[in-house]
Structure 1
Amino acid sequence: MTDPAASIDTTRFVELTGAAYPVRIEYQWLNSERADAPIALFLHEGLGSIALWKGWPQMLCDRLNCRGLVYSRPGYGRSTPRQPAEKWPVEFLSLQAREVLPALLDALGIDARERSRMWLIGHSDGSTIALLYASAFPEALAGLAVLAPHVFVEPMAVEGIEKARISYETTSFRERLQAYHDDVDSAFYGWNDAWLNPAFLHWNITEEISSIRRPLLAIQGYDDEYASMLQLDEIKAAVGHTQLVKLTQCRHSPHRDATDAVNDAIAAFVRAHQRGISA
C-alpha cells in the first residue's frame, strides 16, 4: 500500500463557467503519481463534501490501484455556496449529472479515453448523480458502484429528512456539520429544501436509468433510515445486469457501517470487469 501522506494531493480549486453562474469547485486527487491508472471518481451524499468522506476514498483507491478524484459539489464544502435565497429545482440531481460533472471533467482535462476507463463511486444523492450520468453518457465510464442510492421518493425518506431539519435547528447537529462546510446553511438547506419540496414527492428516475449499459453494482443496508430495499429492486428491474449487495446491520452509510464488506464487494466487482475489458 502506498503512503497515504504521499498519495493525497492538496486541495485545489477550478472555476466552472458553464453552469447557471460561475462556480469554484473544490477538488482533490488521490494517488496522482499513478498517471496511467484508471480514475475512481467519488460523488458525495446530500450533506457531504471532500472532508466528510474522511479516509475512505484513499483506502478504496489503494485497494483498487486507482487514481482517485474527490470533489465538493456547488453549495458544499469549500466550493461556491448557493446564492442568497436560491432554491434548488426538483431536477437538481440531473443538473449535477448532465451539466456540472461533465463541465468539471472538461475543466480538469479528463479526455474521452480516461472517461471510458473511469469508475464512479457514489453515496446517497451522489449515487443518484452517478446513475443519471451513466444513463446520459453510457460510453463515458467503465462502470459504477452506488451506495444507498435513491431512484424514487419513499415516505420514510421524507420523514427522515424532516427529522434532520428539526435536529439541525434544535440540537448541536448544525455545529458538528459546520466542520465540513464553509457555509453550512448553504449545504443543509439546499439539500433539505429540495427534498421537502412537495413537487419532489413525484420524482422518479427508474425509466431514465434503463439506458445504463456499463457494469453496475448497487449496495444498501437493511437498516437504512432513508430508504427500503425497494430502491435496489427497482434499479435491478430497470437495469437487468445490476449486481446487488444487501447488507445486514447496516444503515444509510454502508462505507462507514460495513467498510470491509463494501470494499470487498467493490474490489471484486471492479477487478472482474477489468479482466473482462482486458480480455
Structure 2
Amino acid sequence: MPSKEEQEKTKKQMQGARRQRPQERRQYDEMVVEAALFKHIKDPNKEKLGDAIRNRVDSYSKTILKTSSGLMHMATEMYRDVTDIKTVEVPDEILEKTFVCHLIFGTGEARSENVLVHTLHENFTEFRFEGTRCKGDSNIYIHGAMMYITNLKNHLTMNLERFMRRAVFALYPGISRKGIWAIINGITNDRKHEDEVEFVHKKALRRSTNKAAAIRAAIREHRAVLGLANPTDKISELKKDKERYNRLVLRCFVFLDRKLEVKPEMKLSEEKNEEWERRKAFLMGKRFNVVPMCTINSHFL
C-alpha cells in the first residue's frame, strides 16, 4: 500500500493534470463524432463499418487540423513584415467557403487556381494533407468547410471584447485598472472615447498627463486597426457590414497577438533578467489563436 507521502504526491500530480486539461482544451475547438448505432450492427459487417468510420474520422480530423493551421499561418504571416498593420486589408476570399475548400483539397483539381493557397502549399508542405481520402466522401469535406467558416465567424464575433481585455490588461501594466477599462471601452463601445479618458484623467490621473496621453494613443491605435480611424466612427455601424467587420476583427486579432509576441523582446534597461523573463513568460501566456484550431475525436458507443 502506498505511503501517505506517496498518496499526497499522486494527489497533487492528478490535481495538476486536471488544471492543465482546460488550458489545453482552450487551444482547440473539439468536435466529437459518435457512432451511436455501432453496438447494434451484426457481424460480419461490424468490423468493416467500424474501420470505415475510423478511417473517415481520422482523415477528416487530420485534414481540418492542417486547414486551420494553414489559415492561422496565412493570417499571421500576412502582417509579419508590415510596419503599419492598418494599411493592409484581409482579402475578402479568406472568409469564404470556396477558400477553405481550396485549403482542404488543394488547388490541383480546382477549376480556377487560388494563388494564396497554391503558394502556401508550395512553400509549406506541412499544411498540405498527404494522407488517403476515401472516394465519394467529398461531401464530408465540403460540409466541414461550411462548418469551419461558421465556427470562424462565431470566433470573430464572440471573442473581440474577450481578447481585447486579455491583451490590454497584459500590454499596459503601468496604467491603472480604470485606465485599462477606459482603453477597452473606448475601443469596443460607441461612447465617445475622449469622455472615457477625461473621466479617468480627473479621477485617477491628476498627477500624470503622460498616462492620459498613453490611454488616448492606445485607443486611437486599436480603433484604427478596427477601421475606426475617425473619432466619430461607431463600432455599431461597422457591425452592420458583417463581412467587412469580420475581416477587420481578424486583422485586430493578429495585431493584438503580434503585440503580445513582440513586446517581450523590448527589454527595458532597468529591468533585471529575472523580472524580464517573468514578464516575457506572462505575455507569451496571454497569446491566443487568431482563428479556431479544430480537432476531431470519435466515440464508438
> TM-score category by the smaller chain?
under 0.3
Q: Which has the higher contact order (CA 8 A, sep 6+)?
A: 2
TM-score (norm. length: structure 1): 0.24
Larger fraction in helix: 2
Larger fraction in strand: 1
